[in-house]
Structure 1
Amino acid sequence: MTMKNKVVVITGASSGIGEATAKRLAKDGAKVVLGARREDKLARITREIEAAGGQAVYQVCDVTVLADNQALVALAQARFGGLDVLFLNAGLMPNSPLSALKTDEWAAMVDVNLKGVLNGIAAALPIFTSQRHGQFIVTSSVAGLKAYPGGAVYGATKFAVKDLMEVLRMESAQEGTNIRTATIYPAAVRSELLTTITDKQVAAGMGELYDQYQIAPERVANVVAFAIDQPADTNVSEFTIGPTTQPW
């Protein structure tokens, strides 16, 4: 396996897809660096990984702050001697109709879902460029592939990272820096995303959908591991992940 001893930084690592991915990659021999805003959860996950024989460190990180992203990358270099993969997983989904004018929530989604990704790229890209290898993986959403009412701003941020990752891959190929990218489009996955929805009608509808269709975050972690574990000369760009029973 190519996973063993790879240094992987994960944002949004305190729950859901981030937590499941950290545990899966550590089990496979990667050295994981966890970043999120909730220190108590990061500390617990790190202890659990270490107890299972894995290697992990953590640092509190707000992805909307460039310096926090840079500090997380620096921690990877200081503790594990380098950086191979940055999994940009932090995200918010406070969906609502545009007519509700929840502009503060719009701004929060842009800051975390898009600017947070850009901050991560800014922190790691110089390292990847210098060493002439590296991989960015980002959690988008099926909302980054198809539009639906109530998800305009969330979807816009997730459509944006699709383009961002593809252009990043193309530019790296032109520049000969060998940087790989992968974009993941999960459907309903068990996580804390629904807790950010303040619109009662939208929250009720999304709750019913997730109750019927959601799959475990470990399913996404498996795909992240697959993307990382490909040979250095192979890029796997996009994955749509959802429940087999979902009819739309």
Structure 2
Amino acid sequence: MIRALHRWPGLLALALVTILGLSGAALSVFPAAERIAAPQAEAGLTVAALADRIQAVYPGVEQIRRSPSGRITAYWFDQGAPGAAVINPATGEGVASADPNQAERWLTNLHRSLFLGDGGRIAMAAGAAAMLILSLSGATLVARRVGGWRRWFSPLRGPLAGRLHVEIARIAVIGLVLSSTTALWMTASTFDLLPDGGVLPADPTEVSGEIGFALDQMATLLQTPVAELR
């Protein structure tokens, strides 16, 4: 039963699982490359100081974002024209275009939806579910072959192809289970199938009516390090 459960999902979802795996592996390179290329903020720099530096260069700045890789991107309007750039936190100046990487965007759309919208997202979720079934059933078969979970890394016997398959599986199964589970979680989140525990803050009962408050005088920005900016 377990062997059939391991075999048929793999055969039926071979193309989807292959696309998921290859595109996901390719996408994993971009954050690392971005981390290497993006100027990083010095330790202890606050959001207030960073915003002040950027505003000195781009007076019309309206939004500042920090990606998980540490890349700072600023968005502004200059005489009604929108602008954006990757920022050097040390100077507040733009050092690169903020336009999205077209190869990364193409791979992301392929990985998430096969360029088919919601239908493609459901198909890729099915591929992730098949990968999860493959991983769990394969782990059970490995444990049965070696004589139990405690002997997971015990030496193997048999044909080279079979041993190679099991050796790779014993190392990769944790990553495959984690990847497929998070993929299903993200799909459920996309379709609003998960409970939303977020609570919106209440609207203030009074406002000062003042505008143009200096960024370097805002208490929250003064207390927030750039490393916590999102």
Bigger proportion of residues as strand: 1
Task: Choose 1 or 2 for highest CA Rg.
Answer: 2
Q: TM-score, structure 1 length as denominator?
A: 0.21
State the TM-score, normalizing by the size of structure 2. Answer: 0.23
Which protein, 1 or 2, shows the higher relative CO under an 8 Å CA cutoff with sep ≥ 6?
Answer: 2
